[in-house]
Amino acid sequence: MAVTIRQLADPKMTDLLAKILKQYPGYRVYLNGRMPQKRIIQYMQQAQSFNYPFTVMAQDGMRVQKAVSPTDFGWVLAHPTEKLRGQS
């Protein structure tokens, strides 16, 4: 599951993501390290409160310096080892 930075700004999103976290133990939260620090801290604390491992993704040294966009993913929930399998 992926949520954009704009969607994370919605006050209702914290409660919605809390419900989702309860359903997927064993998964990991990935946070966009280029979004506002306030937002990173908010969702790091949420992951910690549910005992979820999390990773703040940052791409230092990129050759292309592009400003972060509200439509960029800010929060992603994924299984750390399982790949998504397509339906046959």
In a domain, 83, yes or no: no
Taking the CA atoms of the chain, what radius of gyration do you get in angstroms?
A: 14
What is the domain range of residue 18?
Answer: 2-60+67-78
In a domain, 88, yes or no: no
In a domain, 29, yes or no: yes
The answer to whether 58 and 34 are in contact (CB under 8 A) is yes
For residue 26, the domain's CATH number is 3.30.1330.30
For 15-42, the pLDDT digits (tens) are 999 999 999 988 999 999 989 999 999 9
Q: Is it the case that residue 2 has pLDDT exceeding 90?
A: yes
Q: In terms of Cα–Cα distance, which of 78, 74, 51 is closest to 5?
A: 74
Q: Is it the case that residue 14 has pLDDT exceeding 50?
A: yes
Q: What is the pLDDT of residue 88?
A: 42
In a domain, 20, yes or no: yes
In a domain, 21, yes or no: yes
Confidence grade of residue 76 (pLDDT, cut at 50, 70, 90): very high
In a domain, 84, yes or no: no
Number of domains in the chain: 1
Confidence grade of residue 67 (pLDDT, cut at 50, 70, 90): confident
In a domain, 86, yes or no: no
Q: In terms of Cα–Cα distance, which of 54, 64, 50, 16 is closest to 32?
A: 54
Residue with the bigger pLDDT between 82 and 87: it is 82
In a domain, 48, yes or no: yes
